[in-house]
């Protein structure tokens, strides 16, 4: 008979998870779910998921997936099907990344899976990875989950959120293995200047570091801004460039992504063997989506219509930026790319402790769900991220509610008494 003590033993989560978080789906997300379960209508501006807001996957992509479903019943090659990897190789030629072979490319279940796999393949306990602050928090979590130490370098709001190169170099140690960049950036909407990218490449050359470049938004650009793939700037650095169909082609639920090794691949043979092993262990990426990749990359690029001057994304970005910066006490660098704005609250003007209180109170009082800057590992406690995927009517309503909320929290100035 089993003892009472054994029957009451608790099964605990792994210690590796104790200091990890993912704020986009964290406690405030759970609160939003509770409110919706109670019948409250929430305006969700927390996640870059195009489909709920009427952004459909292009018909030709869906059509080609359907036509190939019978071919997609079995496992594929663990690195990806021929047509997908060949199309990605051709794409590297179009954008100027040199000497990428068909055999180099890894296809995955979205960029998220590939980020976790690459960190697992690379890191030993205590290895350090430089990650932007603010960041896309999956990078920080993936490093921690893999036994590494995320070290955040500052991106400078005063310089359109470009990375602070001096701060980046000051944080390089003997344990640093790589630099992560996110360009175009989530959450700030920055598109990095070519000169800044060149300086990052020089740092990687000087300190023998890998560059991991998350370029999932590389076609979502506004106002004529140009994206420069960092892997086009050197053949002496080892690069891993991440891309996929979730944002440019609005196919987030299809889970299709890739990572492209380039540059000094001869120095990364062992690492790539490890990544190959992990790719084999998950058998393969989902096969129906792989049949969409060639069509996506080779077909009509409808994203260009959405970001053009009269395009839907451009109009929504302009509306949100105008409405938020029209609120006294809010400033915001206008995003050059991606799907987000990252405004700053002047906390001295409001009865608010920090960005976390702002986000929770805004949700409970105005039913608008945004994410705090802390959720993106930004330390100043005064920023929040807004997704501008909803239509203009919804964004108008949401920004009006944000304005009403802040007006209620505004610190009233004390009138100065005049002497008689």
Q: Do residues 321 and 248 both lie within one domain? A: no
Q: Indicate whether 118 and 246 sit together in one domain.
A: yes
Q: Say what the pTM is.
A: 0.92
What is the model's pLDDT at position 229?
A: 97
Among the candidates 298, 316, 350, a domain finishes at 298
Considering the domain architecture, whether residues 121 and 220 belong to the same structural domain is answered as: yes
Instruction: Say what percent of the chain tops pLDDT 90.
Output: 86
Of 242, 276, 298, the last residue of a domain is 298
420 inside domain: no
Are 64 and 157 in the same domain? yes
Is 80 exceeded by the pLDDT of residue 129?
yes
pLDDT band at 2 (very low <50, low <70, confident <90, very high): low
Check pLDDT > 50 for residue 420. no
Given a cut of 80, is residue 18 above it in pLDDT? no
Q: What is the pLDDT of residue 414?
A: 46
Instruction: Note whether 186 and 51 are same-domain residues.
Output: no
Q: Considering only 75-79, 404-408, 412-416, which range has the smallest mean pLDDT? A: 412-416
Number of domains the chain contains: 2
Instruction: Round to whole Å and give the CA distance between 339 and 50.
Output: 9
Give the rounded percent of residues in the chain with a pLDDT score beyond 70.
95
- Write the pLDDT tens digit of every residue in 19-31: 776 666 667 878 8
Asked whether the beta carbons of 247 and 217 are under 8 A apart, the reply is: yes
Residue 217 near residue 188 (C-beta atoms within 8 A):
no
Residue 111 counted as domain residue: yes
* 89 and 38 in a common domain: no
pLDDT at residue 413 tops 60? yes
Provide φ and ψ at 192, rounded to 5°.
-70, 140
What pLDDT is recorded for position 99? 92
For residue 213, the tally of other CB atoms under 10 A from its CB is 24
* 240, 343: one domain: no
Which structural domain range is residue 362 located in? 16-55+305-409
Q: What is the pLDDT of residue 310?
A: 94
Same domain, 259 and 207: yes
Mean pLDDT of the 358-372 span: 93
Residue 24's pLDDT is 61
End of a domain among 237, 271, 298? 298
1 domain residue, yes or no = no
Contacts of 403 (CB under 8 A, 6+ apart): 323, 326, 327
Residue 7: inside a domain: no
Residue 274 and residue 161 share a domain? yes
Helix 269-281 and helix 110-122, axial crossing angle in degrees, nearest 10:
130
Exposure b/e, 11-39, CB count within 10 A at least 16 = b: eeeeeeeeeebebbeeebbebbeebeeee
In this predicted structure, what is the pLDDT of residue 21? 66
**Residue 107 neighbours by CB distance under 10 Å:** 27
Both 180 and 135 in a single domain? Answer: yes
| Cα gap 402→350, rounded to integer Å | 13
**417 in any annotated domain:** no
What pLDDT was estimated at residue 328?
Answer: 94
- Spatial contact of 327 and 406, defined as CB atoms under 8 Å apart: yes
pLDDT at position 4 is 59
Q: How far apart are CA 222 and CA 236, in angstroms?
A: 31
Confidence of residue 416 (pLDDT cuts 50, 70, 90): very low
pLDDT above 50 for 63: yes
Q: What is the CATH number of the domain that holds 250?
A: 3.40.640.10
The CATH number of whichever domain residue 23 belongs to comes to: 3.90.1150.10
8 Å CB contact between 45 and 398: yes
Rounded Cα gap, residues 194 and 30, in angstroms: 40
Instruction: Note whether residue 3 is domain-resident.
Output: no
What is residue 160's DSSP assignment? T
Q: Are residues 162 and 100 in the same domain?
A: yes
Mean pLDDT of the chain: 92
Q: How many helices (H) and strands (E) does the chain have?
A: 14, 15
Q: Report if residue 258 sits inside a domain.
A: yes
One domain for residues 348 and 371? yes
Give the pLDDT mean for 259-280: 95
Q: pLDDT tens, 286-341? A: 999 999 999 999 999 999 999 999 999 999 999 999 999 999 999 999 999 999 99
Does a structural domain hold residue 419?
Answer: no
Query: Which among 48, 47, 45, 44 is positioned nearest to 250, based on CA atoms?
Result: 48
Residue 198 has pLDDT above 90, yes or no: yes
Phi, psi for 27 (deg, rounded to 5): -60, -35
């Amino acid at each position: 008979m089993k003892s009472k003590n054994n029957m009451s033993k608790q099964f605990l989560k792994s210690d590796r998870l104790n200091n990890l978080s993912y704020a986009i789906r964290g406690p405030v997300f759970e609160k939003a779910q509770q409110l919706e379960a109670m019948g409250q209508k929430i305006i969700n501006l927390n996640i870059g998921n195009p489909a709920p807001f009427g952004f459909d996957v292009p018909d030709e992509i869906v059509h080609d997936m359907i036509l190939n479903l019978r071919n997609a019943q079995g496992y594929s090659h663990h690195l990806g099907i021929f047509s997908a990897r060949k199309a990605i190789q051709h794409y590297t030629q179009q954008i100027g990344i040199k000497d990428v072979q068909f055999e180099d490319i890894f296809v995955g279940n979205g960029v998220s899976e590939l980020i976790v796999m690459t960190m697992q393949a690379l890191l030993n306990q205590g290895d350090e990875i430089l990650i932007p602050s603010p960041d896309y928090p999956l990078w920080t979590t993936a490093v921690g989950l893999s036994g590494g130490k995320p070290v955040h370098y500052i991106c400078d709001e005063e310089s359109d959120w470009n990375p602070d190169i001096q701060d980046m170099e000051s944080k390089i140690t003997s344990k640093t293995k790589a630099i992560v960049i996110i360009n175009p950036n989530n959450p700030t909407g920055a598109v990095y200047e070519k000169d800044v990218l060149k300086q990052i490449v020089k740092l990687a050359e000087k300190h023998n570091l890998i560059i991991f470049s998350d370029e999932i938004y590389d076609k979502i650009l506004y106002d004529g801004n140009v994206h420069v793939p960092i892997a086009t700037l050197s053949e002496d650095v080892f690069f891993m460039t991440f891309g996929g169909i979730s944002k440019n082609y609005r196919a987030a639920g299809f889970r299709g992504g890739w990572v492209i090794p380039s540059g000094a691949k001869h120095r990364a043979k062992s690492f790539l063997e490890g990544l190959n092993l992990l790719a084999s262990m998950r058998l393969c990426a989902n096969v129906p989506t792989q049949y969409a990749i060639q069509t996506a990359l080779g077909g009509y690029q409808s994203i260009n219509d959405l970001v053009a001057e009269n395009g839907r994304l451009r109009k929504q970005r302009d509306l949100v930026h105008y409405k938020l910066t029209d609120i006294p006490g809010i400033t915001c660098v206008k995003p050059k790319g991606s799907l987000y704005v990252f405004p700053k609250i002047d906390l001295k003007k409001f009865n608010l402790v920090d960005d976390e209180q702002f986000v929770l109170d805004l949700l409970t009082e105005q039913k608008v769900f945004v994410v705090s800057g802390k959720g993106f590992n930004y330390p100043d406690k005064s920023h929040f991220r807004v997704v501008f995927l909803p239509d203009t009517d919804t964004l108008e309503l949401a920004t009006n509610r944000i304005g009403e909320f802040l007006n209620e929290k505004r610190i009233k100035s004390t009138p100065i008494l005049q002497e008689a």
